[in-house]
């Protein structure tokens, strides 16, 4: 980094700090938006588009970046406290976050989530800024063959979830894959499993499936109890000690935060990949290489850190193809593209030469936002955890009302509200009969993507299945995928052999 670039970064940093009056209220707005299922940073920015266009370019970018980052973090709050992921990117968060809340450790879980999110987001922002030319090429090399392996990384999490009951876990996973196949196929647009319902021709909408399987079904379950917290984990009076304990637990696992956030960064660079894939892949890799994989799903801190640091690592990754190539990495980045084009910004490598304050300013706004979020949101964890003490006779109807509205918002179809209720009943039956709803959701989210990339690959190769092994990068990913499956099994056998008492 030469002296001129360093001076620009310093200047942009102090300019960004000067926008604190925009960042702070936007962070609070983002927490609310991210915490309501169905809402997101993208549709909020669309609603506030006139305001964004009326601001000067730098103020508008600071507003959008702050909202984007805080909404990503806010989605994890209801996922931890009431088992309701605010967005698909937080779908893996309740796997260990919600068990902690039920054990009376909701305040610790929130603190762990906030630290992992802020450190993961801040670290990947710095890495993205330093390695932007290299990361920009990732999108060029990740074609359909490589994306198939990336999808398999996430789908293999079904096998991890099924470890406790293989038959029920695989049944739930395959049910999710079948539900995900509903709609028209990507090659011939032939309707499958739609029963003539036009609203299903585009496939099963993700938000109604998400809020139904997690939120509505959880509302049906918790209504049978007085409060969310288990009887053997009675709610404690919130105190600063639990918050600091959560911070200590997260910082003690800083290496875990680093490598899972880098997974999110790399996946975020790939246009269309998104936070949901990153969080599932990070969780699967975290569990596979853990020394205590049996603790995952029971309220294990590392199971909470992995998806939270990964889905916040995605935020900086989506900016790389946007700024360097003019290709948005996600829905929010696409809206940023529209706003920047409105202000006459030209994308490409020349952006950092002709308008360096715009290019570097977006990453600096992201870094400053994460720092301010850490300082402002962390103290609120002791108050947010009170949600777990609200009587469920009041909490359950509120959850159902908000989530049904959230299911309606993305497409504005009444059908989606009924669909969310149907998924809620399915999720409730699954919970009561011992099937894991997360396995169903993984199939619903990643199944259609796997099919799309697989059919694209076959179409380009005229049906030759060996195209899956025709790419050097793809073969490297295949080897990595095989190792991620085999090595944990080998390590587990060695640990088991080590602790076995030799027969006399």
pLDDT per residue over 249-272, tens digit each? 999 999 999 999 999 998 888 776
Q: If you count them, how many residues does the chain have?
A: 504
In 205-253, alpha helices (H): 206-210, 217-222, 240-252
Short-list 259, 216, 135, 235, CA closest to 403: 216
pLDDT at 163: 57
Report whether pLDDT(234) > 60.
Answer: no
Short-list 221, 244, 190, CA closest to 382: 244
Short-list 111, 199, 95, CA closest to 442: 95
Q: Which helix (H) or strand (E) holds 191?
A: strand 191-192
Please provide residue 191's backbone torsions phi and psi, each rounded to the nearest 5 degrees. -65, 140
- Give CA–CA dist 45/339, Å, rounded: 10
* More confident: 201 or 162: 201
Cβ atoms of 302 and 256 closer than 8 Å = yes
Cβ atoms of 213 and 424 closer than 8 Å = yes
> Tens digits of per-residue pLDDT, 308-345?
999 999 988 888 888 877 777 777 888 888 888 888 88
Is residue 1 very low, low, confident or very high in pLDDT (cuts 50, 70, 90)? low
- Give CA–CA dist 423/420, Å, rounded: 5
Cβ atoms of 308 and 120 closer than 8 Å = yes
pLDDT at 233: 46
> Tens digits of per-residue pLDDT, 480-498?
888 877 877 777 677 667 6
- Give CA–CA dist 309/318, Å, rounded: 15
Q: Name the burial class of residue 446, with classes exposed (0-12), middle (13-18) and buried (19+) by CB atoms within 10 angstroms of its CB.
A: buried
- Give CA–CA dist 187/455, Å, rounded: 7
pLDDT at 187: 78
Q: Which helix (H) or strand (E) holds 237?
A: none
CA 39-44-49 angle, 5° bins: 160
- Give CA–CA dist 25/43, Å, rounded: 18
Short-list 375, 65, 381, 91, CA closest to 213: 91
CA 90 vs CA 96, 207, 214, 248, 368: distances in Å: 12, 12, 11, 23, 23
> Tens digits of per-residue pLDDT, 397-451?
888 888 888 788 778 889 999 999 999 999 999 988 888 888 888 888 888 888 8
- Give CA–CA dist 188/203, Å, rounded: 14
Q: pLDDT averaged over the chain?
A: 83
Predicted TM-score (pTM) of the model is 0.82
pLDDT at 38: 67
Q: What percent of the chain has pLDDT over 70?
A: 91
């Amino acid at each position: 980094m030469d002296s001129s670039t360093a001076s620009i970064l310093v200047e942009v940093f102090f300019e960004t700090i000067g926008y604190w009056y925009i960042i702070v209220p936007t962070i609070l707005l983002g927490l609310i938006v991210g915490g309501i299922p169905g809402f997101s940073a993208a549709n909020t920015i669309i609603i506030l588009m006139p305001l964004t266009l009326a601001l000067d370019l730098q103020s508008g970018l600071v507003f959008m970046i702050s909202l984007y980052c805080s909404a990503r973090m806010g989605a994890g709050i209801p996922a931890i406290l009431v088992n309701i992921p605010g967005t698909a990117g937080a779908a893996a968060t309740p796997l260990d976050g919600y068990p902690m809340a039920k054990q009376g450790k909701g305040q610790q879980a929130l603190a762990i989530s906030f630290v992992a999110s802020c450190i993961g987001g801040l670290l990947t922002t710095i890495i993205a800024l330093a390695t932007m030319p290299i990361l920009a090429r990732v999108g060029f090399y990740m074609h359909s063959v490589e994306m198939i392996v990336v999808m398999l990384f996430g789908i293999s999490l079904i096998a991890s979830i099924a470890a406790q009951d293989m038959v029920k876990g695989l049944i739930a996973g395959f049910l999710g894959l079948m539900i995900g196949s509903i709609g028209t196929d990507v090659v011939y647009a032939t309707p499958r499993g739609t029963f003539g319902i036009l609203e299903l021709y585009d496939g099963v909408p993700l938000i109604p499936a998400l809020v139904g399987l997690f939120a509505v079904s959880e509302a049906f379950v918790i209504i049978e109890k007085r409060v969310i917290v288990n009887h053997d984990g009675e709610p404690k009076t919130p105190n600063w000690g639990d918050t600091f304990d959560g911070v200590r637990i997260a910082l003690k696992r800083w290496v875990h935060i680093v490598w899972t956030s880098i997974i999110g960064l790399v996946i975020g660079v790939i246009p269309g990949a998104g936070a949901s894939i990153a969080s599932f892949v990070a969780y699967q890799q975290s569990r596979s290489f853990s020394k205590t994989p049996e603790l995952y799903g029971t309220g294990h801190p590392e199971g909470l850190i992995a998806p939270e640091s990964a889905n916040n690592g995605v935020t900086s990754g989506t900016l790389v193809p946007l700024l360097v190539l003019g290709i948005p990495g996600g829905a929010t980045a696409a809206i940023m593209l529209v706003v920047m084009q409105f202000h006459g910004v030209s994308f490409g490598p020349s952006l950092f030469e002709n308008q360096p304050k715009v290019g570097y300013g977006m990453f600096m706004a992201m870094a400053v936002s994460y720092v301010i979020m850490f300082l402002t949101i962390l103290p609120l964890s002791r108050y947010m955890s009170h949600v777990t003490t609200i009587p469920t006779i009041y909490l359950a109807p509120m959850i159902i009302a908000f989530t049904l509205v959230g299911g309606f918002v993305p497409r504005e179809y009444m059908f989606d509200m009924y669909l969310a209720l149907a998924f809620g009943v399915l999720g409730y039956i699954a919970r009561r009969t011992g099937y894991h709803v997360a396995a169903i959701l993984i199939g619903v989210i990643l199944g259609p993507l796997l099919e799309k990339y697989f059919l694209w690959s076959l179409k380009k190769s005229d049906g030759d299945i060996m195209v899956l092994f025709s790419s050097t990068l793809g073969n490297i990913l295949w080897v990595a995928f095989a190792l991620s499956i085999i090595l944990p099994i080998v390590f587990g056998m060695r640990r088991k052999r080590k602790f076995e008492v030799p027969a006399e």
